[in-house]
């Protein structure tokens, strides 16, 4: 049976939207930028963030399924390279919004559009450190029982259900109303 608990706690090395000081719910996604199911979940997460506002903290972790998606690792590394220039979330959104265009020249165009330092971006894209970062996320996902993408964890427990807005919203609301709901 797959693990149902998040094994790697959310920490300072994660990409986080929303602060832990006010959020009552932490939603962690293990995702793949080329995965069509992650692409379908992207607007769902955006909708949940808008609806729950400060009550929701969102964390994205890389889980590129490179056997099925040839550009997934490159896309993940590009988001990490953008993060080194404080533009992780901008690149994250751009990749999901342009999911069918993730070749090298596409990613370079996205970096230009985000006004990244292209020389630094290119060097960072070749960095073993960033590839290791992506692998670290992947291994953490495996340890937590991630078998496919997207996989979500709500306050540390694997969400088993449809990745539809109404289903996820209802589940989050039920967790928020439990007396033990915590970060």
Alpha-carbon distance values, 100 to 1, 77, 87, 116, 127 (Å): 34, 17, 21, 22, 25
**Across 9-34, average pLDDT:** 92
Number of folded domains that form the chain: 1
pLDDT in tens, 56-114: 999 999 999 999 999 999 999 999 999 999 999 999 999 999 999 999 999 999 999 99
pLDDT in tens, 137-152: 999 999 999 999 999 9
**Across 139-167, average pLDDT:** 96
Query: Running DSSP on this structure, what letter comes out for residue 3?
Result: -
Residue 180 falls inside a structural domain:
no
On whether the CB atoms of residues 63 and 142 are closer than 8 A, the answer is no
In sequence order, which residues have a C-beta less than 8 Å from that of residue 9 and are 6 or more positions away? 156
pLDDT of residue 38 exceeding 60, the answer is yes
Q: Which of 181, 133, 177, 178 is nearest to 8 (CA)?
A: 133
**Across 149-169, average pLDDT:** 97
Q: How far apart are CA 73 and CA 63, in angstroms?
A: 9
Residue 134 falls inside a structural domain:
yes
- The predicted pLDDT at position 19 comes to 77
**Across 34-46, average pLDDT:** 98
Find the CATH number of the domain harbouring 87: 3.40.30.10
On whether the CB atoms of residues 148 and 31 are closer than 8 A, the answer is no
Residue 115 falls inside a structural domain:
yes
In this prediction the pTM is 0.94
Give the structural domain span for 73.
Answer: 18-165
Q: How far apart are CA 92 and CA 52, in angstroms?
A: 20
Given pLDDT bands bounded at 50, 70 and 90, which one contains residue 2?
low
Residue 119 falls inside a structural domain:
yes
- The predicted pLDDT at position 1 comes to 40
pLDDT of residue 182 exceeding 80, the answer is no
Q: Which of 121, 125, 145, 122 is nearest to 133 (CA)?
A: 125
Residue 10 falls inside a structural domain:
no
Element (H, E) at 71: none
- The predicted pLDDT at position 3 comes to 60
Percent of the chain at pLDDT exceeding 70: 96
Residue 61 falls inside a structural domain:
yes
- The predicted pLDDT at position 83 comes to 98
């Amino acid at each position: 049976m797959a693990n149902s608990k998040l094994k790697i706690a959310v920490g300072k090395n994660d990409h986080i939207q929303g602060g832990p000081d006010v959020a009552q719910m932490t939603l962690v996604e293990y995702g793949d930028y080329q995965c069509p199911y992650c692409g379908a979940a992207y607007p769902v997460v955006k909708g949940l963030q808008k609806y729950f506002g400060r009550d929701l903290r969102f964390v994205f972790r890389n889980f590129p399924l490179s056997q099925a998606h040839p550009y997934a690792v490159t896309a993940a590394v590009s988001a990490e390279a953008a993060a080194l220039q404080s533009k992780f979330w901008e690149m994250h959104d751009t990749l999901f919004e342009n999911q069918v265009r993730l070749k090298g020249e596409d990613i370079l165009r996205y970096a230009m559009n985000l006004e990244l330092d292209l020389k630094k971006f290119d060097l960072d894209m070749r960095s073993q450190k960033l590839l290791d970062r992506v692998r670290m996320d992947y291994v953490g996902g495996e340890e937590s029982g991630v078998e496919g993408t997207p996989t979500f964890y709500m306050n540390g427990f694997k969400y088993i259900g449809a990745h539809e807005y109404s289903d996820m919203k209802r589940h989050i609301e039920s967790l928020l109303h439990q007396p033990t709901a915590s970060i």
